[in-house]
Amino acid sequence: MMGSTGGRGLRFVLVQGVYHAPWCWDRLIPELDRREHEAVTVDVPIGDPAAGASEYGDVMQRLSKTGTRSW
């Protein structure tokens, strides 16, 4: 997901896949920053076996409204 950050390039919302966590973006974020983009990682509930697309969507919606990035 990308969006404008005003005068500073683009904002990237980085969501990890299964068996990963926000650390998987550790090498990409400095490169995006170097190119004057903003990167936000999201901590989705991968550790909760009952969580599905709806719960992942809730995390994304909360991020878009409040900036809260974790489950």
Is 10 or 1 the better-scoring residue by pLDDT? Answer: 10
Task: Give the DSSP letter string of the chain.
Answer: -EEE-SSSSEEEEEE--TT--GGGGTTHHHHHHHTT-EEEEEB--TT-TT--HHHHHHHHHHHHHH---B-
Separation CA 39–CA 63 (nearest Å): 13
Where are the domains positioned within the chain? 2-66
Q: Which ranges of 1-71 would DSSP assign to H, the alpha helix?
A: 28-34, 53-66
Q: Has residue 59 got a pLDDT over 90?
A: no
pLDDT average, residue stretch 44-68:
76
Query: How confident is the model over 10-36, as pLDDT tens digits?
Result: 988 888 877 788 889 999 999 999 999
Contact 3, 32 (CB under 8 A): no
pLDDT average, residue stretch 32-46:
87
pTM of structure: 0.65
